[in-house]
Structure 1
Amino acid sequence: MTVSANAQAILLLTARFGKSDSGANKPLTPKEYGRFAEWLRLHSLTPERLLSGDLQELLQGWQDKTVMVERVGALLDRGSALALSMEKWLRAGLWVMTRSDPDYPRRLKQHLRSDSPAVLFGCGNRALLNSGGLAVIGSRKVSQDDLVYSSRIGEMASNAGVSIVSGGARGVDETAMLGALGAEGTAVGVLADSLLRACSSGKYRRALMENNLVLVSPFNPEAGFNTGNAMARNKYIYCLADAALAIHSGKKGGTWSGAQEDLKRGWVPLWVKQTDDPEAGNKALIAAGAMEA
């Protein structure tokens, strides 16, 4: 797989390649890139065009409180780091998708508009990103009954021809995905970390080879766990699906905040499993507007 010059420019502007990508040279956030990309479009410029020519001249008239021309120039000057990373990622079977690609998930654009991630890294059947499905979310540490329930939901979705969309984390997420895949169904895993490692994992190998699975992440494929990234990716799980089911939520944390954000934004209908666990936030989510499952 080759990566177009336009995709390379977007990667340089928005992706991390190492720990040195911080401070003044921190890659553009989705919001920052959204503002910048819109300005480029209005001035008939593509990100690729910024790789050649005088940057000061090309960006004449551009003004932004955080995205200065000097910062853009420093980010575009990371060609060697990009080349080394891309060689490693592509050799491992990963692909790169940018917001300008025709098969970029349309649901992300519809729900998040300019806040949709500029770049997605992934492996597996990228067509599944536009197939919708049921988002299944829940805590990492749950009862055995909840794990059995999660697996059964995956199987039922498979039998109904519906993809499972989840975060791939241990607990509810992974169990629902494996339940669907074990029943010869399909799944979309939106990972917050360690995409490169997950794509070579034995538990996913068969499903990836049979085009029943796509693993995707807006973050560096080699990034380790980061609480901020885990919280940020929750919205992508909801926005890639047609409906969502929360199996178990705490009264704080990722599942809780993601469900609250969906209820506030109205991305997709949210159902919540009933539970007698006094430590769970399920009842509070139902009281906030979610539907009982």
Structure 2
Amino acid sequence: MWDVHNASPIGKSFRGHSSLVSSVIYSPLHNLIASGSWDKTIRLWDTNKSQQWGVPLKGDYPLHSIAFSPDARLIASGSGGTYTGPRGNYVQLWDVQKRKVASVPLKGHTCPVMSVSFSPNGAQVVSGSEDCTIRIWDIEKEKTIIGPLEDHTGWVRSTAFSPNGTQIVSCSYDRTLRLWDVRNEEMIGDPYKGHTDDIYSVAFSPCGTYIASGGKDKTVRLWDIGTGRQVNQPFKEYTSHVNSVAFSPCGQYIACGFINRKVVIRKVSGEDDELDNGRGPEPEVVTSEMVQYDCVLGYHSI
């Protein structure tokens, strides 16, 4: 974790995973951090004590994405892998307190599930997959209620609900972002074009009027959903791929995680602050999230 005011780490690094850490998220209660890994586990970490909280949640397949429900009661995970076959390509719900699965595997994707995100009311989960489709799941009925949405022509790497839950945004290796209306299951307007390579991460601003995206073309771009156009020019070209973007709760800052082990806190209108732990070489940053004035990052190993 980092204090974004003075660009310094908070406490010590969390360590325990035996393989790549693919996803890191804050609990909505701000007392825990959850991390998902290719080692097939989800680990929970006490943010006050800087130590693991309880035993890991153990799955059967590599995990690519995890998300807390708004009430922090559940975690959703997306899994799959090249060598696991179609059996591992599903969304799973976990009970945080009971430390066990809370649903049957939610199956439908034919390739690994790269992204999961809860709706604001906690009743649905949106997922994106290497099969180039998006699905929305009803967690009570344990089935797909919207989709598959099939307009993307490349892997769907990241998905997110809007703050009011009426829209979702997706980004893909087809170099486009797409905005969807959850109520009528249709794409809103034309695809958002501007990135010149694979797009890795997308996020809604807290007010729901802007979208941030980052990708392999080493740029971070801001989009106005009212017009479907970029806001000004892309943030300056960096020297490495942008693996993750996240807005601060106030909407004034974007945390950007890079393959070259750096994190940049970008003011939506202003200069960059770079976070560097000063501890020598670290693996690439694969995920980032901002909560209040802290930034949590996921590296290849936690």
| TM-score of the aligned structures, taking structure 2 as reference length | 0.25
**The structure with more strand, counted as a fraction of residues:** 2
Identify the structure with bigger relative contact order (alpha carbons < 8 Å, sequence gap 6+): 1
Instruction: Specify the structure having the higher radius of gyration (Cα).
Output: 1
**The structure with more helix, counted as a fraction of residues:** 1
